Chain A
Amino acid sequence: MKYLLLINTAAPDSTEQQPAGGPTMEEFMAYDKAISDSGVKLDGNALDISNATTVHVRVNGERVVTDGPFAETREIVGGYYLIDVPDLDVALDWAARCPGARYGTVQVRTVWEPAQP
């Protein structure tokens, strides 16, 4: 079963100070090594959080491009992992081990799979 772990972090321009400390690079590297070595990781990356651009296409086809993430977003996705594990408990364990879970939140989503005809 495929789960996407979305690592949410405070949006840079909505908070004056980053949460105290924040995860260190070493913490993330250790986590990335653990999740890679376990064989459950299908994909995963950290994202730049300061250069987001948002696109919306209006009914009339007009393309609206704005700077930043969706307006008034207080959290932004700072990274993600796509993992393949047997059930939600295992997915939650990996989410909880993620350094991002201690400084922000990690949202666990299942990948929608259409029923085959």
Chain B
Amino acid sequence: MNEQRAARSVEAVFREDRGRLLALLAARFGDLDLAEEAASDAIAAALERWPADGVPDKPLAWLLTTARRKAVDRIRRDRTYAQRLALLRAEGDRTTPAPAEPGFDDIPDERLQLFFTCCHPALAPQARTALTLRFLAGLTTPEVARAFLVPTATMAQRIVRAKHKIRDARIPFRVPEPDELPDRLPSVLRVVYLVFTEGYAASCGDDLLRPALADEAVRLARILHRLLPREPEVTGLLALLLLTDARRAARTDADGGQVLLEHQDRTRWDAGLIAEGRELVVRALTGPGTGPYAVQAAIAALHDEAPDLATTDWPQIVALYDVLLRIEPSPLIALNRAVAIAMRDGPAAGLALLDALTDAEELPGYHLLPAARAELLTRLGRTTEAATAYRAALALVGNARERATLTRRLTELTPPRPDPSA
């Protein structure tokens, strides 16, 4: 009984602080493999000791001390580690003074370093996301693999390769200087954003939402915001995620089917998240350094504030998309802007913009472009063209729930022909 309780508290501590523990060990030893092994060793020791000795007052400090000792044991056993580490120390001492040993009462939070290492631009974008989920969100490799619907072996290989590059090319565990942040921060924010969008609108599979992934993204964004409270884009990203996530409960029906924005029951939107997000977005938009996440958050806030689709402040949304297109031109933003224009000026105006995008072939293979065209063509009563566009969207869509929505729209468009045999 006692043993079970101890095991549970180890798990709780580990789940909560695993990222911090790994970050501290990685910062100390400069090696993610060693950090992981030492952390596992410490957990095993805790499972053995805590049932007998009781859970220590400061579980993280206990785990950290134990993990450090275990790491040193491993280094002594493994001469390759020893050599590599000796080299690291020598070079580290040469360049920077040795960091002070953290006191047990104020263990520093080194997760920001780990964020920047996992999202280093020298790593492949897919690897950055995988490492961040694995080391900062605390997902296991099979969980990360499931999140991206690739075989576990493939994901394991991707993670190992990235870990080896960090070690062999010596990607440092450090927070970039303020003047480097403009170059380095976007890649960290992008990883968190991608984790969220994959959780919020899965690109493939049977479920529209993968809530666990969206939750992890929000958690990561909150950690980042705590660590970098004065970076407007970090604030903007957290605001964007909260303001979007607020609609989660209304986005699917009881069967998991997709509910589009115009049909969502807005009373089911999370007022608490909206309030929190709105406060953040104001901060993200004031002062210098406002970027694309803050502007997108402002658009999300306008949607969240509107009682329905018709009374949404479309002129303001179009204006914000104009800003967004200026600071971060992308065909995806042009697509969203065209839809907003259609709401403000009517479907014909939006369609003209979508047709231009289609002709430019800037979003090849993206199902939402023909889907948006189909929507506007339907409203214009051009049903034959709308049907063609829906079929084009169906040929591209990867998510089963979105496929169902498109199929339904297509059948609503073409009333069943009278059965000649009847």
Q: Which residues of A contact B (CB under 8 A)?
A: 1, 86-89, 92, 108, 110, 115-116
The answer to whether the Cβ of B406 comes within 8 Å of any Cβ in the partner chain is no
Residue of B nearest to A89 (CB): B172
> What are 20 inter-chain pairs, A to B, with CB distance below 8 A?
A86-B91, A86-B94, A86-B95, A86-B170, A86-B172, A87-B170, A87-B172, A87-B174, A88-B169, A88-B170, A88-B171, A88-B172, A89-B171, A89-B172, A92-B122, A108-B169, A110-B168, A110-B169, A115-B80, A116-B83
Residue of B nearest to A112 (CB): B168
Q: Is the CB of B80 within 8 A of A89?
A: no
Q: Is the CB of B92 within 8 A of A86?
A: yes
Which of A1, A86, A88, A116 contacts B122 (CB under 8 A)? Answer: A88
Task: For A116, list chain B residues within 8 Å (CB).
Answer: 83
Q: A1-B170, A86-B172, A110-B169 are in contact. Are A115 and B92 (CB under 8 A)?
A: no
Task: For A108, list chain B residues within 8 Å (CB).
Answer: 169
Cα A48 to Cα B80 in complex, Å, equals 40
**B67-84 interface bits toward A, Cβ cutoff 8 Å, 1 = contact, 0 = none:** 000000000000010010
Q: List which B335-366 residues lie within 8 A (CB) of chain A.
A: none
A91 to chain B, nearest CB (A): 8
Residue of A nearest to B121 (CB): A92
B73 to chain A, nearest CB (A): 20
A99 to chain B, nearest CB (A): 19
Q: Is the CB of B83 within 8 A of A115?
A: yes
Cα A86 to Cα B93 in complex, Å, equals 10
**B155-168 interface bits toward A, Cβ cutoff 8 Å, 1 = contact, 0 = none:** 00000000000001
Cα A86 to Cα B171 in complex, Å, equals 10
Q: Which residues of B contact A (CB under 8 A)?
A: 80, 83, 91-92, 94-95, 120, 122, 168-172, 174, 176
A20 to chain B, nearest CB (A): 24
Cα A88 to Cα B168 in complex, Å, equals 10
B91 to chain A, nearest CB (A): 5
B391 to chain A, nearest CB (A): 41
B102 to chain A, nearest CB (A): 22
B176 to chain A, nearest CB (A): 8
Task: For B95, list chain A residues within 8 Å (CB).
Answer: 86
A13 to chain B, nearest CB (A): 32
Other A-B contacts than A87-B171, A110-B169, 15 sampled, CB-CB below 8 A, are A1-B170, A86-B92, A86-B170, A86-B172, A87-B170, A87-B174, A88-B120, A88-B170, A89-B171, A89-B176, A92-B122, A108-B169, A110-B168, A110-B170, A116-B83
Most chain A beta-carbon contacts within 10 A, residue among B80, B122, B170, B171: B170
Which of A1, A89, A92 contacts B91 (CB under 8 A)? Answer: A1
Q: Is the CB of B174 within 8 A of A89?
A: yes
Residue of A nearest to B120 (CB): A88
Cα A65 to Cα B171 in complex, Å, equals 39
Cα A110 to Cα B95 in complex, Å, equals 19
B343 to chain A, nearest CB (A): 44
Task: For A89, list chain B residues within 8 Å (CB).
Answer: 171-172, 174, 176
Cα A117 to Cα B92 in complex, Å, equals 24
Cα A1 to Cα B168 in complex, Å, equals 10
Residue of B nearest to A96 (CB): B183
Task: For A1, list chain B residues within 8 Å (CB).
Answer: 91, 170
Task: For B80, list chain A residues within 8 Å (CB).
Answer: 115
Most chain A beta-carbon contacts within 10 A, residue among B168, B169, B172, B176: B169
Cα A116 to Cα B79 in complex, Å, equals 9
Cα A110 to Cα B94 in complex, Å, equals 19
Cα A49 to Cα B92 in complex, Å, equals 38
Task: For A110, list chain B residues within 8 Å (CB).
Answer: 168-170
A116 to chain B, nearest CB (A): 6
Task: For B83, list chain A residues within 8 Å (CB).
Answer: 115-116
B6 to chain A, nearest CB (A): 40
Cα A116 to Cα B80 in complex, Å, equals 8
Cα A115 to Cα B83 in complex, Å, equals 8
Cα A115 to Cα B84 in complex, Å, equals 9
A87 to chain B, nearest CB (A): 4
B119 to chain A, nearest CB (A): 13
Cα A1 to Cα B30 in complex, Å, equals 14
Cα A87 to Cα B171 in complex, Å, equals 6
Cα A115 to Cα B170 in complex, Å, equals 16
Q: Which 8 A-B pairs have the closest CB atoms?
A: A87-B172, A87-B170, A86-B95, A88-B171, A115-B80, A88-B169, A86-B91, A1-B170
Cα A1 to Cα B92 in complex, Å, equals 11
Cα A86 to Cα B173 in complex, Å, equals 12
Task: For A87, list chain B residues within 8 Å (CB).
Answer: 170-172, 174
Cα A92 to Cα B170 in complex, Å, equals 11
Cα A8 to Cα B174 in complex, Å, equals 29
A85 to chain B, nearest CB (A): 9
Cα A3 to Cα B169 in complex, Å, equals 9
Cα A108 to Cα B176 in complex, Å, equals 19
